[in-house]
A and B are shown apart, each in its own frame.
Chain A
Amino acid sequence: MSAPTPPRTGAPRSGDSIAATPAGALDVDVHVEAGSFALGARLVVEPGDVLAVLGPNGSGKSTLLGTIAGHVVPSHGHVRLGARALTDLPADDGADGRRRIALPPADRCVGLLGQHALVFPHLSARENIAFGPRARGVPARTARAAADDWLARVGLDGLGDRRPSELSGGQQQRVALARTLAAEPDVLLLDEPFAALDVEAAASMRRLVADELARLEAPAVLVTHDPLDAIVLARRAAILHDGAIVDEGPTGEVLGHPRTPFIAALAGVNLVTGVAATADRIVADGLELRGVGALRPGSPASAVFSPAAVHVAPEASVDLTEPNRWLGTVALVEPAPGGVRIHVAEHPSLAADVPSSQAVALDLGTGSRLAFAVAEADVSLRAER
């Protein structure tokens, strides 16, 4: 399933609020052509649902959000919120008499929180948050009182008089989140909202965003290159690659058992595609992997396991007649959280993570031979069509 798949709107799960919000679902089908870059994406996000759009830099994630926020006018396509059209540019240039619509950002009611907080530097935290409501005609006093409630809600109680220059990066991003939500958007867009924060601030900001997304009744789209964001914040995930959505579905399925090497690399897992030998064993380019699953012998199948689940040992210490073992020549060593990641020449797509404490005992020089093993319980098997 590498071709763009039709979005699955999905019935509300148990626990979802079925009460329809006035704004309704976000329905996007846009085509952007600009020079050599082309983006074509369809997605539907139900009210209260969060869709994570994952992709590397340059895949078109921010352009996609731009078409929803109104910063980018697509070549053709539509952006709808329930029955309301924010953008409607027919490919046949209005030959059917449809009015061409491309609302300016101010008339869309779309909230966008980007990587940079962009808190207005000349306004206090309180005035920043009150800006949206005041722009829509809420009396200043009411808007400021609401802003103080927001400050408390995002953990900045008592900092309302601070100027942005007196706040940390994490605090500024909290003000930006409160400012976006205080404007009561019909859609919430999050564009790498943790990318510019240090590890600690990103973790607490992620927790805050998770809380707010859980309360949100509007549809939300989260753009990220970090699978962690998708896993923590979004029930559904779409993979954007070179301007096209190549996979879409529940986050656990999309990232837990990637369909292509590209998504596997993005999700940071090892993917081996081959043929099922038995119900719990596949064979693929010289590897024999036993794992958890129920396969039909003789049919295409794939195995997925984490680089961290791979055990690495000196060459001599392993009995290669057992499954789930292989030998390799070190081709590339790169840093990984808490240790190093090893790539071998024989299986370039398989990575193995070794903790620093263990890595110092191994010979990791390029060209040295090592033995690799992965436990059966750590390998997930799936039949492929």
Chain B
Amino acid sequence: MTPAAASRPVTPPARREAHRVTVGFPLWLYAPAAVGAGVLVLPFAALFARLDWPGVPAAITSPEALQALGLSLATASIATIACVVLGVPLALVIARSGPAVAAVLRTLTTLPLVLPPLVGGIALLSLLGRQGLFGDALAVLGLRIPFTTTAVVIAQTFVALPFLVISVEGSLRTAGTRYELVAAGLGASPFTVFRRITLPLVAPGLVAGVVLCFARALGEFGATALFAGNAAGTTRTMPLAIYTAFNGAGVAEDTAIALSLMLILVAIGVLLLMRGWRADAPR
């Protein structure tokens, strides 16, 4: 320290944090960004504003509402399990196929994703309906699928499966096959490699896929309405209950809004669950 510096009054300068400079963007982009956020958030705000809060407890604890919620949670859970059991192997086959085969399989898998669910419902009827392709065979076996709870699960699986396959396949491609080759070199059988290396490596993608899959199954309406109908207790899931309440004779619109609130809460719960899992996930 020089004498001059030492003789100066000791007033430490205000401490300023060093920071990196980021390249800015045109400020006017805030305007469409705000509108975009509004499009996503305002409808929910309006829904909460219109909610008849005193009537909510009665609406969501009514036997019909609880029945619909129970049916929705049960069918969506079964559909999600079906998606995992069928979707993980399908994703593995796509990820390990050559580029041409993979492209075809991926397109076919994503089809239900881009089609209106109503079309899916008609397609399912064409396959499993009484007049459908497998209709006679099912009749011989004494099975009737349309307008049963089974039909609800099938419709939900049909629309939700692509989400799981796409999510898991992406993870498989990112993980690559290098670790699997190392594991095989250490003497591991194909099943051991799958169980101890492949599956754990795609676990984050699998969890994301399961959440998307469950959410999609929970919200499924179009295919269910056409293929499974709207019978209270067996096929009337939450979305159908909301639709019925909204259009139904003599039932207040408030019930539909209250039921919607329930679905929103379930969806938020599922998203939070996923965040919690991923936060303490390894690596």
Contacts and interface: CB of A to CB of B under 8 A. Distances in A.
Interface of A: 69-71, 104-106, 108-112, 116, 118, 120-123, 131-132, 135-136, 163, 165, 179-180, 183
Given A131-B196, A135-B192, A163-B283, A118 B179 contact: yes
Interface string B163-180: 000000000000000110
A109 B283 CA distance: 30
Contact of B185 (A69, A122, A136, A163): A69
Interface in B160-202: 178-179, 181-190, 192-193, 196-197, 200-201
A110 B181 CA distance: 12
B186 to A, nearest CB: 4
The size bracket of the interface on B is 20 to 34
Interface in B110-148: none
Nearest to A116: B178
B36 interface: no
Contact of B187 (A106, A120, A165): A106
B201 A131 contact: no
B282 interface: yes
A121 B283 contact: yes
Please classify the interface of chain B as helix (H, G, I), strand (E, B), loop, or mixed, using the class held by over half of its residues.
helix
Contact of B282 (A110, A116, A122, A136): A122
A116 B176 CA distance: 14
Given A106-B185, A122-B203, 19 more contacts: A104-B184, A106-B184, A106-B189, A112-B182, A118-B178, A118-B182, A120-B182, A121-B179, A121-B282, A122-B200, A122-B201, A122-B282, A132-B186, A135-B183, A135-B186, A135-B187, A135-B188, A135-B189, A179-B186
Contacts of B190: 106
Interface string B216-242: 000000000000000000000000000
A69 B201 CA distance: 23
Interface string B250-269: 00000000000000000000
5 contacts: A111-B186, A118-B179, A120-B179, A131-B186, A163-B283
Given A163-B282, A165-B283, A112 B197 contact: no
Contacts of B203: 122
Contacts of A70: 185
B212 to A, nearest CB: 22
A106 B282 contact: no
B181 A105 contact: yes
